[in-house]
Amino acid sequence: MTPVLTQIEVQEKLSVQDLIAERDLTRGDIELIFSLAERVKRSPGAYARALQGKQLAMIFEKPSLRTRVTFEVGMTSMGGYAVYLDHAKPRLGERECIKDIARNLDRWVHGIVARTFSHESVLELAENASIPVINGLTDLLHPCQALADFFTLEEKFGRLKGLRVAFVGDGNNVCNSLMMLAAKLGVSLRVATPAGFEPKPEMVEDAQACATGTGALIQFFRDPVEAVEGAQAVYTDVWASMGQEYAAHLRAQVFAPFQVTENLMKAAGREAVFMHCLPAHRGQEVTDAVIDSPRSIVYDQAENRLHVQKAILLLLLQDNHS
């Protein structure tokens, strides 16, 4: 079946060649991703050959379930092919310099997804490749996750502007990405972290500068109960990210008051949903009673990774659609 692509889907493109950081995306870019993701989700068969003949290289330094499966399934379900490159050992740049890796892949494939520890590694890939590079997660940012999260919120509430989202836990890469997208979309984000675990100051400054033009409000709290009051969504993540396992025991003690429990959810609005990017450490950052409750939309978020990333692939790899 020939893919049924509307005129806007063929002609419209993102304003960027690569998807590295949320700050690079315009409001129009984000709306375009969401609009196409909704169409792809509604009519996946219409895009069954949309990326026929396209190849995607997937460079992963870190373990993955959602990112790997959704990008692989996304490519193959649209007629393309994905090649998985395991760089857990050696890490990217150890056996061969990143510049040479990028320039080789440039000759063989049509796009790169990179899931790395260092954000600079993804930047270097993009600098040296003429093909699109997609950030599949770095220690600094997780843009594909945040895009899927806000797409999910828009599905649930029918709007984004004016929503109040509370993030409870570590000011990590997911928090950084949520801050910037919230700022761009007019969503108020209330971040509760223990002292010393706030997001990086430069990330806060960027988000707050962006928020001045959209009506978003980025606020910070020490008390998780205060942060979630009146929120439509309560979001948390693991207390020790990949690469921080050595500090897991200490972090478990520091973050214990920030566990998302049924009592904490009661402090949020009646319509509040629970969100988590997964994988979850049940009994640590969230209780079973919350993650398995009807208020939990964690699996909706996970599903929407597929649809949002399919839209991203279409928009970045569409030049040679037949």
Asked if the structure places residue 20 within a domain, the reply is yes
Asked if the structure places residue 1 within a domain, the reply is no
Which residues pair with residue 86 across a beta bridge?
Answer: 60
- The pLDDT mean for the chain works out to 93
Indicate if 125 and 157 belong to the same structural domain.
no
The whole-number pLDDT of residue 269 equals 84
Indicate if 120 and 152 belong to the same structural domain.
no
Indicate if 204 and 237 belong to the same structural domain.
yes
Domain count, the chain: 2
Q: 318: pLDDT confidence band, cut at 50, 70 and 90?
A: confident
Indicate if 248 and 186 belong to the same structural domain.
yes
- Pairing label, strands 188-192, 218-221: parallel
Q: Which residues are catalytic?
A: 115, 142, 145, 237, 277, 305
**Average pLDDT of 305-316?**
98
Q: What percent of the chain has pLDDT over 90?
A: 87
The whole-number pLDDT of residue 45 equals 96
Asked if the structure places residue 71 within a domain, the reply is yes
d(CA 143, CA 195): 25
d(CA 210, CA 17): 21
Indicate if 121 and 178 belong to the same structural domain.
no
d(CA 251, CA 246): 10
Indicate if 28 and 118 belong to the same structural domain.
yes
Asked if the structure places residue 94 within a domain, the reply is yes
Indicate if 166 and 48 belong to the same structural domain.
no
Asked if the structure places residue 69 within a domain, the reply is yes
Asked if the structure places residue 113 within a domain, the reply is yes
Asked if the structure places residue 322 within a domain, the reply is no
**For residue 58, pLDDT beyond 70:** yes
Asked if the structure places residue 25 within a domain, the reply is yes
**For residue 2, pLDDT beyond 60:** no
The whole-number pLDDT of residue 241 equals 72
d(CA 197, CA 170): 6
Indicate if 188 and 264 belong to the same structural domain.
yes
pLDDT in tens, 191-235: 999 999 999 999 999 999 999 989 999 999 999 999 999 999 999
Indicate if 134 and 280 belong to the same structural domain.
no
The whole-number pLDDT of residue 246 equals 60
**For residue 59, pLDDT beyond 70:** yes
pLDDT in tens, 26-43: 999 999 999 999 999 999
Indicate if 82 and 223 belong to the same structural domain.
no
Indicate if 96 and 183 belong to the same structural domain.
no
pLDDT in tens, 153-186: 999 999 999 999 999 999 999 999 999 999 999 9
d(CA 252, CA 169): 11
6-10, 237-241, 254-258: segment of lowest average pLDDT: 6-10
The whole-number pLDDT of residue 244 equals 66
Calculate the dihedral angle through the C-alpha atoms of 101, 200, 238, 41, rounding to the nearest 10 degrees.
-60
CATH number at residue 158: 3.40.50.1370
Beta carbons of 272 and 233 less than 8 angstroms apart: yes
Indicate if 37 and 74 belong to the same structural domain.
yes
**Beta-carbon contacts of residue 137 (< 8 Å; ≥ 6 apart):** 62, 64, 67, 115, 116, 144, 145, 173
Return the HEC string of the chain: CCCCCCHHHHHCCCCCCCECCHHHCCHHHHHHHHHHHHHHHHCHHHHCCCCCCCEEEEEECCCCCHHHHHHHHHHHHCCCEEEEEECCCCCCCCCCCHHHHHHHHHHHCCEEEEECCCHHHHHHHHHHCCCCEEEEECCCCCHHHHHHHHHHHHHHHCCCCCCEEEEECCCCHHHHHHHHHHHHHCCEEEEECCCCCCCCHHHHHHHHHHHCCCCCCEEEECCHHHHHCCCCEEEECCCCCCCCHHHHHHHHHHHHHHCECHHHHHHCCCCCEEEECCCCCECCCECHHHHCCCCECHHHHHHHHHHHHHHHHHHHHHHHCC
Show the domain range for 77.
7-142+305-314
Return the HEC string of 122-164: HHHHHHHCCCCEEEEECCCCCHHHHHHHHHHHHHHHCCCCCCE
